[in-house]
Amino acid sequence: MSNSIKENLISSFPDIQVEVPEKDRLKINAEKEEVISILSYLKNKRYGHLALISCVDWMEEKEFELIYILSAYLARDDEYTDRERLNIIIKTRIPRDNPEFLSVIPVYENAEPYEREIHELFGIIFSGHPRLIPLFLEREYEIPPFRKDFDNRQYVKDVFDKIPSVL
Amino acid sequence: MRELELYFGPQHLGMVGNFSITLKVEGDRIREATANPGYLHRGFEKLMEYRTWIQNFPLVCRINVVEPDHMELMYAMAVEKLANLEVPERAQYIRSIFLELSRVASHLFGLWAYANMLGFDTVAQWAMYHRDLVLDLFEELTGGRVYHIYIWPGGVRRDFPEGFQEKIVNTLHSIGGCVPDYDDIFFNNRLFSERAKGIGKVTREEAMALGATGQVLRATGMKYDIRKVEPYAAYHQVPWEVPIREEGDAYSRIWVIRDEMIESVHMIFKLLDKMPEGKVFNRTPNPFKWKIPAGEAYVRCESSRGELGLYLVSDGGDKPYRVHFRTPSYPHGLTVLEKVLKGESIADVGNIMISLYVVAPEIDR
């Protein structure tokens, strides 16, 4: 299963790297310009379930990595095939000093809260997103808190040590 | 008619957990709903980057209060994948039995929440009592009632104690014996069906577009269950059925949950019969010196709410580099809920939210 998709992908997108690291997983490394077209291509191939959008801060390489994980819903109601077993992991890197990316909501509607979360926790701006407003946090942060240069323990010391103790 | 803004939760009788919804209403009808998570954001995923691989176990089970065991399983499975650890056959069976018990406990807790919200206090008390019986089993096996830290990379922490299998069977029989009573007083009760039928309807196309899994999808007739789609632990060893319904409303979602509980109990009996002898864990390296090779893993399982996934990255060090949980309540509570609430009445908000089986700590993490 993964091999046939791999061949199809390489023939449609010659610039991408496709690996099969283990059974039922397919890893795609793509340039950021190609991500949206790969996602719509795979959606048309019935990989309609966007399970997760994640982000990793590679501080030393001065890059953010965005990860899109796709899988397929059942084609028939009571049949389980290799197609649904497969998870496709699409990865792309964007520069850390200019963290901007296109929103994938036009392709996958349920990307909306994931992008909002990544905007809030990593400070990545998704252009085309209808409401990039805070999701979880209530305070303002100078450095978005999930970046690697944000030091949790220092922050706790700086902010909460200033509150007068009740004792 | 004048449009009003209404805050539903976190202090509201119909709201279970710390979650709130801002409603724009006109008269009794909802024009627009906005979910406001974040009351329980504890930043677990960031905290885990500061702790060693093994130190994270007490953290990971606290992400979701209602079903800690699936969270443990996800983390253990991802660590096993990155570190290339094998799990013995018997441990796989014990994991499945343990996780199914936890599913029953979690569904009973969900039934408590639902019945309580609808005003079926008797059913709520029964469900809570029966959940406690399952927690007694957990306490004997692991020492903890709610948080167990039982599933471990390379297996489970200990084998079943003497006579434990009979205890599981007896407890499940005593809970299962009450199913006709539950049916009479709750599931077949007209008071319940009148309130839940046709409420919060999600069509299959909507569910698929919005990333729904679990009961939300199964109530629209698709047998999508990760235990079947990509079997883990010992789920492929015994035959079992995925319960479904066709209507896609709140009523059918609760019936899927009810049928799933019964199927879980049958599955536990089958697994107990087939369980092999042998050791229950493979030794892991010294946890103080344990470094896991650089790499990444995505693992997934079917928690009692839907597809639970974990994306774990290691940079070759003694701590995880990045942890990200894909929790089922995240799409259900944010995307699906906002869409489904449009056009419903204010009185049904709690009803719809609990029938979507949203658990706030899982969204916030």
Look at the domain B3-364 and name its fold.
Cytochrome-c3 Hydrogenase; chain B (1.10.645)
A63 touches chain B (CB under 8 A): no
What pLDDT does residue B104 have? 93
Give contacts of A49 with chain B, Cβ < 8 Å. 208, 211, 213
Specify the range with the lowest mean pLDDT, choosing from A35-39, A84-88, A122-126, B285-289.
B285-289
Mean pLDDT score across all residues of chain B: 89
Question: Does residue A166 sit within a domain?
Answer: no
Domains of chain B, residue spans: 3-364
- Tens-digit pLDDT profile for residues B236-267: 888 998 998 888 889 999 999 999 999 999 99
Q: Over 90: is that where the pLDDT of B129 sits? A: yes
What pLDDT does residue B264 have? 92
Question: Does residue A116 sit within a domain?
Answer: yes
Rounded CA-CA distance B241/B218 in Å is: 12
Q: Over 80: is that where the pLDDT of A101 sits? A: yes
What pLDDT does residue A1 have? 67
Selecting from A50, A135, A145 the residue whose C-beta is nearest the C-beta of B211 gives: A50
What pLDDT does residue A163 have? 67
| Chains A–B, number of C-beta pairs less than 8 Å apart | 90
- Cα atoms in the 13 Å half-sphere on the side-chain side of B19: 25
Question: Does residue A102 sit within a domain?
Answer: yes
Chain B interface mutation, best of A25, A28, A71, highest count of B Cβ atoms under 10 Å:
A71
A25 touches chain B (CB under 8 A): yes
Give the CATH number for residue A51.
Answer: 3.30.460.80
Domain that holds residue A51: 2-159
A51 touches chain B (CB under 8 A): yes
Rounded CA-CA distance A42/B240 in Å is: 32
Q: Which of B122, B100, B149 is nearest to B268 (CA)?
A: B100
Greater confidence (B11 vs B68) lies with B68
Could you tell me which residues come within 8 angstroms of residue B309 by beta carbon, excluding any fewer than 6 positions away?
A51, A52, A69, B74, B298, B299, B300, B301, B325, B326
What pLDDT does residue B38 have? 85
Dihedral (Cα; B62, B68, B69, B75), 10-degree rounding:
-40
What pLDDT does residue B135 have? 92
Q: What is the ipTM of this complex?
A: 0.89
Q: Over 60: is that where the pLDDT of A21 sits? A: yes
Q: Over 60: is that where the pLDDT of B226 sits? A: yes
Instruction: Report the DSSP beta bridge partners of residue A95.
Output: A63
Q: Over 70: is that where the pLDDT of A106 sits? A: yes
Residues of B in CB contact (< 8 Å) with A are 37-38, 41, 43, 45-47, 50, 81, 208-211, 213, 217, 221-224, 228-230, 244, 296, 298, 300, 307, 309, 311, 313, 321-322, 324, 326, 330-331, 334-335, 364
Q: Over 60: is that where the pLDDT of B175 sits? A: yes
Provide the shortest C-alpha distance from residue A52 to chain B (in Å): 6
Chain B interface mutation, best of A68, A76, A104, A109, highest count of B Cβ atoms under 10 Å:
A109
Question: Does residue A164 sit within a domain?
Answer: no
Question: Does residue A148 sit within a domain?
Answer: yes
Provide the shortest C-alpha distance from residue B96 to chain A (in Å): 19
- Tens-digit pLDDT profile for residues B23-55: 999 888 899 899 888 888 888 999 899 899 989
A136 touches chain B (CB under 8 A): yes
Selecting from A57, A108, A137 the residue whose C-beta is nearest the C-beta of B38 gives: A137
Cβ-defined contact of B222 to A25 (cutoff 8 Å): no
pLDDT band at B94 (very low <50, low <70, confident <90, very high): very high
Question: Does residue A90 sit within a domain?
Answer: yes
Give contacts of A138 with chain B, Cβ < 8 Å. 38
How many domains are contained in chain A? 1
Q: Would the CA dihedral through B82, B87, B93, B97 be positive or negative?
A: negative
Cβ-defined contact of B50 to A73 (cutoff 8 Å): no
